[in-house]
Amino acid sequence: MLRPTQLTRDSDPILIEALRPILNASLPYLTKSLGWMSAVEQHRWWRTEDHARVKVFLWRDDERPWEPVAFSMITDHGDFASPFFAVARDHWSNGYGDAIIKHYIETAGKPLRGQQLVSNGAIRKLNARNGWVVVRKSTALWTNPDIEYLEHPGPTTTFPDYDAILKGLDG
Ligand SMILES: CC(C)(COP(=O)(O)OP(=O)(O)OC[C@H]1O[C@@H](n2cnc3c(N)ncnc32)[C@H](O)[C@@H]1OP(=O)(O)O)[C@@H](O)C(=O)NCCC(=O)NCCS
């Protein structure tokens, strides 16, 4: 079974380092152009990151707990949160995407906003079936035409079925 370990400011640096190869390998698939990070740069980022706003998880499978298979990151922006995650290349197509998306939606606990590349067929499929809605596409000449902007309402709260309960009380 796939499980997340939350990384905190005080986590052993070797755990932060474990997510670096997955992060660096995911760069070509992201809507923002981030640079390749060295261990030193990542360590510096981790020490200075606002951990009250950003939650990061390293994912492993119980069968092989020594092997990082994915990371996920959720950033709180006040009214909304935004996610970022990647699965290690050797573990693509193992069906991990849905569980990670469901987890970051629950962790956010509020509406979300995000972006996806039109050319990233896997993430478009995963996002659509997990409740993300495309609200806008890049149209301006100076923006990347490959980007779609997305919104998600956040976790759905299931309230008790009060009608059924009251009907039961009426006999
Ligand atoms: C996007 C990503 C997370 C998908 O990981 P994955 O392990 O392959 O995901 P899953 O196995 O859970 O599911 C992928 C689904 O997309 C489908 N798929 C794969 N490539 C596809 C494509 N080009 N077009 C359409 N669907 C595609 C798969 O068949 C699968 O569908 P299924 O579950 O109905 O069979 C992974 O490719 C990745 O980490 N990419 C780099 C980082 C990234 O894009 N992050 C997302 C933006 S924050």
Query: In this model, does residue 167 exceed pLDDT 70?
Result: no
Q: Whose C-alpha lies nearest to ligand 1, atom 22? A: 121
Tokens 């699965």 belong to residue: 87
Q: Which of the pair, 154 or 171, is modelled with greater confidence?
A: 154
Q: How far is the CA of 21 from the centre of ligand 1 (A)?
A: 18
Confidence of residue 171 (pLDDT cuts 50, 70, 90): very low
Give the distance, in angstroms, between the CA of residue 78 and the centroid of all CA atoms in the same chain: 17
Domain count, the chain: 1
Cα–Cα distance list, 170 to 160, 164, 166 (Å): 17, 10, 6
Query: In this model, does residue 170 exceed pLDDT 60?
Result: no
Cβ neighbours of residue 128 under 8 Å, at least 6 residues apart? none
Count Cβ atoms below 10 Å from residue 55 Cβ, excluding itself.
19
Q: Give me the chain's average pLDDT, please.
A: 91
Supply 28's token pair: 């070509």
- What pLDDT, in 10s, does the model give residues 55-64? 999 999 999 9
- The interaxial angle of helices 97-108 and 121-129, nearest 10 deg, is 50
CATH of the domain at 159: 3.40.630.30
Percent of residues, the chain, with pLDDT higher than 90: 81
Backbone angles phi, psi at 55, to 5 degrees: -115, 135
Q: Whose C-alpha lies nearest to ligand 1, atom 26? A: 122
Q: Which of 62, 71, 87 is nearest to 19 (CA)?
A: 71
- What pLDDT, in 10s, does the model give residues 85-94? 999 999 999 9
Query: In this model, does residue 68 exceed pLDDT 60?
Result: yes
Which domain covers residue 8, as residue numbers? Answer: 2-170
Tell me which residues have their CB closer than 6 angstroms to ligand 1.
26, 29, 84-87, 92-98, 120-123, 125-126
Span 147-165, mean pLDDT? 80
